[in-house]
């Protein structure tokens, strides 16, 4: 009999570290916007607080003398190593709206992956073509039949939702490597007055009906997508609602790269070194090799996706128009 597998979520809870309290029944994204008095500077500050605080917590765990082990994803391990459980299939089905990174952000993410891989050769890397930012998770860990029931209800609104980023353009900036005992990601902050880079020269910029400028943040976009889905009558059951805009870069499949205190210290130093490089050479740099600015909706709109979505899988139902 196959073992009952425990999701990494059960051992690696992603708490909201911004300090914002969400009231029952409200749009959870409104809570942060209201707490910040709709000020993009304050919204960015809370996103920053969340990721900086979480990194500090995770660093302490890695360097603690009580460190026991990394959190290995048992589902991914079986998908990658067929010897563990032959013929394994991930039973978890999901329904989401993803934002796909444009080419220049993929280029940056792949470069960061290469730097991380040098320090941890056993790290599983998210394939570049599967990279994504989860704008809204509607359902997870469900049966295919459950997902199809939700899709029937949602389908009449999918085109409007996936195309929403064409007219509502939220900018992300200041990439940073975020990490925990299970995975590593590159996270972004909602823009708040940073100089616009060349990437901001997009189709129909400034045209009537286009909502743009840093007053409309990524958190506003998430709020609007949540409200649009809720308006269809579909129940939204996200695993978590936190002020984070991150693309998963990799997950741990073995303990071997982090067995000793020195190995774990070197891992932390690698991440901190990458983050210093990002801040010095990528943030707000128009003339650098890499750009860290991303206007959500560049190149393609939102990707409505269902199925076995962990690790970038699943199938696309519809992708919205990009600019």
| Res. 198: pLDDT tops 80 | no
**What confidence score (pLDDT) does residue 202 get?**
74
Cα dihedral: 247, 253, 256, 262 (round 10): 20
Mean pLDDT for 141-167 is 96
**What confidence score (pLDDT) does residue 2 get?**
54
CA torsion sign for 292, 294, 299, 301 is: positive
Closest CA to 74 of 291, 253, 242, 218: 253
Q: Can you list the positions of beta strands (E) in 156-237? A: 171-179, 183-190
**What confidence score (pLDDT) does residue 300 get?**
97
242-255: per-residue pLDDT in tens? 999 999 999 999 99
* pLDDT band, residue 199 (cuts 50/70/90): low
**What confidence score (pLDDT) does residue 34 get?**
94
Mean pLDDT for 66-80 is 96
Closest CA to 173 of 245, 248, 270: 245
| Res. 10: pLDDT tops 60 | no
- Structure tokens belonging to residue 19: 């300090």
> Quick one: 101 exposed, middle or buried, by C-beta within 10 A (0-12, 13-18, 19+)?
buried
Contacts 24+ apart (CB under 8 A), 19-26: 19/46, 19/49, 20/46, 20/243, 22/241
- Mean pLDDT, the chain, integer: 93
Domain locations in the chain as residue ranges: 27-319
CA–CA separation, 319 and 323 (whole Å):
13
Q: Please list, in sequence order, all residues whose beta carbon lies within 8 angstroms of the beta carbon of residue 250, skipping any fewer than 6 positions away.
A: 113, 116, 117, 123, 124, 125, 126, 183, 184
> With respect to CATH, is domain 27-319 assigned 3.30.70.1060?
no
Q: Please list, in sequence order, all residues whose beta carbon lies within 8 angstroms of the beta carbon of residue 37, skipping any fewer than 6 positions away.
A: none
**CA R_g for the chain:** 19
Asked if residue 198 lies in contact with residue 187, where contact means CB atoms within 8 angstroms, the answer is no
244-296: per-residue pLDDT in tens? 999 999 999 999 999 999 999 999 999 999 999 999 999 988 888 999 999 99
Strand partners, 293: none
- Structure tokens belonging to residue 113: 């992956």
Strands lying side by side in the sheet with 294-295:
124-125, 245-251, 183-190, 171-179, 294-295
Asked if residue 184 lies in contact with residue 116, where contact means CB atoms within 8 angstroms, the answer is yes
Which uninterrupted H or E stretch holds 228?
helix 218-230
Mean pLDDT for 183-201 is 88
* pLDDT band, residue 302 (cuts 50/70/90): very high
**Beta strands 303-307; 93-99: pairing state:** antiparallel
CA–CA separation, 286 and 311 (whole Å):
32
**What confidence score (pLDDT) does residue 26 get?**
80
- Structure tokens belonging to residue 230: 């809720």
Q: What count of other Cβ atoms lies within 10 Å of the Cβ of residue 122? A: 13
* pLDDT band, residue 241 (cuts 50/70/90): confident
* pLDDT band, residue 239 (cuts 50/70/90): confident
Closest CA to 58 of 163, 184, 187, 222: 184
* pLDDT band, residue 1 (cuts 50/70/90): very low
Q: What percent of the chain has pLDDT over 70?
A: 92
């Amino acid at each position: 009999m196959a073992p009952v597998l425990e999701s990494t979520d059960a051992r690696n809870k992603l708490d909201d570290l911004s300090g914002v309290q969400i009231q029952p029944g409200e749009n959870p994204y409104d809570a942060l916007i209201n707490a910040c008095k709709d000020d993009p500077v304050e919204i960015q500050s809370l996103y920053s607080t969340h990721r900086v605080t979480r990194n500090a917590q995770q660093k302490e765990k890695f360097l603690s003398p009580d460190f026991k082990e990394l959190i290995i994803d048992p589902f991914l391990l079986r998908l990658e190593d067929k010897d563990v459980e032959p013929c394994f299939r991930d039973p978890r089905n999901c329904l989401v709206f993803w934002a796909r990174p444009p080419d220049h952000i993929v280029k940056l993410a792949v470069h960061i992956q290469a730097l991380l891989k040098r320090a941890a050769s056993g790290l599983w890397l998210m394939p570049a073509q599967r990279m994504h930012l989860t704008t809204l998770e509607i359902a997870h860990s469900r049966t295919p039949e459950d997902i199809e029931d939700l899709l029937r209800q949602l389908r009449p609104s999918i085109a409007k939702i996936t195309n929403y980023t064409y007219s509502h353009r939220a900018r992300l900036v200041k990439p940073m490597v975020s990490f925990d005992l299970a995975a590593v990601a590159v996270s972004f902050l909602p823009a708040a007055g940073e100089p616009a880079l060349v990437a901001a020269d997009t189709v129909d910029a400034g045209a009537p009906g286009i909502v743009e400028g840093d007053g409309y943040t990524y958190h506003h976009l998430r709020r609007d997508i949540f409200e649009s889905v809720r308006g269809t009558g579909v129940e939204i059951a996200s695993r978590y609602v936190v002020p984070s805009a991150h693309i998963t870069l990799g997950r741990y499949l073995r303990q071997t790269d982090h067995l000793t205190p020195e190995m774990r210290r070197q891992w932390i130093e690698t991440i901190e070194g990458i983050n210093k490089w990002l801040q010095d050479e990528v943030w707000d740099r128009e003339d650098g090799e890499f750009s860290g600015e991303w206007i959500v909706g560049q190149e393609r709109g939102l990707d409505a996706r269902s199925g076995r979505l962990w690790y970038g899988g699943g199938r696309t139902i519809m992708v919205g128009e990009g600019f």
